[in-house]
Amino acid sequence: MNTITVQVSAGNAILQDTKTIAVYEEFRSLRLAFSPNLDDYNPDIPEWRRDISRVIKKSLVEATGIPSQHILVAVLPGLPTAAELFVLPYQDANRENKRSTEDLEQISEVLIHKLNQNLVHFELKPGVQVLVHAAHLTAGQFLCLGFLPATVLQGIHFHCDQGEMVAINWAQFLKVSL
């Protein structure tokens, strides 16, 4: 864990804030989408996004049995409602039992399997069920997010920018059979 302090001054006023952050060398991420009814209740404010992130995380833990220390969910601003699911390498307080890359892959596969089976859902309010599922991504986006080995797409150069994939040579890209 690292502590970051930011200080800003303007005229006679000084503001300072300190946050503790974790930096991971290895992690996996997956874009989540939801049944359309969630958009009807999305006020697009940070507090709502934080609350819904906690609810989604709880639903993922219940559906998969994966410890909550491995999961981080961030609901993204805007519509349609989307979120980013991060699979993290949890390490206990003794600095023992650190999860390997293979463990992260296995956890990711379990999550994707449960999401694809429509087993992750939550009740937004009485009578309003919301289904959570993996967003449909292109092969390049899967590569950018770390779910597709780069060797599958040998000879093609990708540039990943904010979760979007741009293939440098589309002709080669279209010839690849996955």
**Cα dihedral 154/140/145/41 (nearest 10):** -170
Distance of alpha carbon 22 from alpha carbon 142, whole angstroms: 24
Residue 133 CA neighbour count, 13 Å, CB half: 12
pTM of the model: 0.67
The count of other CB atoms within 10 Å of the CB of residue 153 is 19
Which of 118, 120, 115, 127 is closest to 40 using CA atoms? 127
pLDDT at 12: 93
Give the separation between CA 127 and CA 132, rounded to whole angstroms.
16
Q: Do 35 and 131 touch, CB atoms closer than 8 A?
A: yes
Confidence of residue 20 (pLDDT cuts 50, 70, 90): confident
Which segments of the chain belong to CATH 3.30.70?
Answer: 25-136
Per cent of the chain over pLDDT 70 is 70
| pLDDT tens per residue across span 69-105 | 999 999 999 999 999 999 988 765 555 555 677 888 8
CA–CA distance, 156 with 150 (Å, rounded to integer): 9
Stretch among 13-27, 55-69, 154-168 having the lowest mean pLDDT: 154-168
Please state, as a whole number, how many other Cβ atoms lie within 10 Å of the Cβ of residue 17: 9
In CATH, the number for domain 25-136 is: 3.30.70
Cα 167 from Cα 133, distance rounded (Å)? 26
pLDDT tens-digit profile of 127-176? 999 999 999 754 444 445 444 444 334 344 444 444 333 333 333 334 33
Using DSSP, state whether 71 is helix, strand or coil: strand
- Comparing CA positions, the residue from 138, 141, 120, 122 lying closest to residue 130 is 122
Residues in contact with 161: Cβ distance below 8 Å, sequence separation at least 6, in sequence order: none
Alpha carbon of 28 to those of 5, 14, 79, 89: distances in Å?
27, 38, 24, 9
